[in-house]
Amino acid sequence: MTNKDFFLALEDLEKEKGISKDVFLEALENALVSACKKQYAGTVGAVEIKLNPDKGTLDFYTVKTVVEEVTDREKEISLEDARAIKKSYKPGDKVTEKFVPKDFSRIAAQTAKQVILQKIHETERDAAMSEFADKEGELLVGVVRKKDIKNIYLDLGKGQIEGVLLPSDQVPGEVYELNDKVKVFVKKVKSGYNGAQVLVSRTSPGLVRKLFEEEVPEIKQGTVEIKAVSREAGSRTKMAIYSNDPRVDAIGACVGNKGARVNAVVAELGGEKIDIIPWSEDPLEFIAKALSPAKVLSVTQLDGEKTAMAVVPDDKLSLAIGKDGQNARLAVRLTGWKIDVKSRSAAEKIGMAPSDGAEDESEAVQAPAPDGEEDAVE
């Protein structure tokens, strides 16, 4: 059968989609074989299809095995009948005969369309998966495409891959309108029924890391290193940094001239407060700095793994703990230590008050809060 237009259409698809014509032909051949078996079950045996793109032909053949005694007419042919076709046939040989399926054009058109659309979909999905497989942990810009009761869906990248913001990855108070451009952190890439799906986040600490990488060349170059980030999205972040070059001030690099760099990150996060803290190899010193903006008088390791008590001036206890315990909670996450924060007077009662004049000079820097807002004190 001749169908040159069909093969020309495949060539156009190959150019347009960048998908090899051979991929379509193999899929189509398998689909047409299945269609013939379904339509001619019980009357036609094994079916082979030969596609010749050069000649633009598509031919169907039945294949039966030569036997002395036929037990399955669909798959077998008697030796006598086989030799009526060609005298040299012997038992075990395969007899191939050309045939034309009834209603072929209708079957072929429907099957070809279904198979090709499916193959295009699968190939584009695989290409998208390949493109985004190494994007986990990266920062991307998405365009809000649609919203439902819970989720936000974004178009990502050139292939317009779907990114999904689940409720847990949406910052409380942030509003996402259709066609808004949103910077997101890629959490996971997976293959879904409708193609590649990318789970993205606006609440991940990784988003803060990547935003600072964008704004601070010293971080991207590796001179300044982000050691840890703890975050309560939409409210506050603590970030511990370290300079691998004694000539480079890590905090100054992150803050930027007149606060330009840190303020750019704060603006992207909708005014979220950011404490930039110098990291220390000494965990007790690190704990003291992590409790910024409160000044810490002393930090003592207690019995038990990674447990410490931090003592602060009586009038700074609420500041050290923070509203609803947020400051202390973020310090715990940042350092990985359990921290018991006590006032000096409370420490004196249990005999653990620091000596007079003891005070840790914390160097943490807090990004300016909107409208000059200060930390709430309980």
Asked if pLDDT for residue 375 goes beyond 70, the answer is no
Q: What percentage of the chain exceeds 70 in pLDDT? A: 81
Name the pTM for this structure: 0.67
Name residue, tokens 């964008």.
214
Measured CA to CA, the distance from residue 318 to residue 295 in angstroms comes to: 12
Q: Which residue has the higher pLDDT, 135 or 361?
A: 135
343 neighbors 317 (Cβ within 8 angstroms): yes
Encoded tokens for 330: 């973020």
Radius of gyration of the chain (CA): 35
* Domains of the chain with CATH codes: 4-132 (3.30.1480.10), 139-203 (2.40.50.140), 206-372 (3.30.300.20)
348 neighbors 313 (Cβ within 8 angstroms): no
The 8-class DSSP code of residue 376 comes to P
Averaged pLDDT score across all residues of the chain: 83
Task: Work out the end-to-end distance of the chain between its first and last CA atoms, rounded to an integer number of angstroms.
Answer: 85
If pLDDT is split at 50, 70 and 90, which confidence band does 41 have? Answer: low
pLDDT reported for residue 103: 65
CA atoms within a 13 Å half-sphere pointing along the CA-CB vector of 266: 22
202 neighbors 152 (Cβ within 8 angstroms): no
If pLDDT is split at 50, 70 and 90, which confidence band does 377 have? Answer: very low
- Give the long-range contacts of residues 34-40, CB within 8 A, separation 24 or more: 35/107, 35/111, 36/60, 36/101, 36/107, 39/101, 39/102, 39/103, 39/107, 40/101
If pLDDT is split at 50, 70 and 90, which confidence band does 341 have? Answer: very high
Count the Cβ atoms, other than its own, within 10 Å of residue 82.
22
Cα–Cα distances in Å, from 229 out to 11, 233, 286, 327, 341? 52, 12, 13, 13, 20
Average pLDDT over residues 280-297: 95
Per residue in 300-321, pLDDT (tens digit) is 998 878 999 999 999 999 999 9
If pLDDT is split at 50, 70 and 90, which confidence band does 14 have? Answer: confident
CA atoms within a 13 Å half-sphere pointing along the CA-CB vector of 209: 17
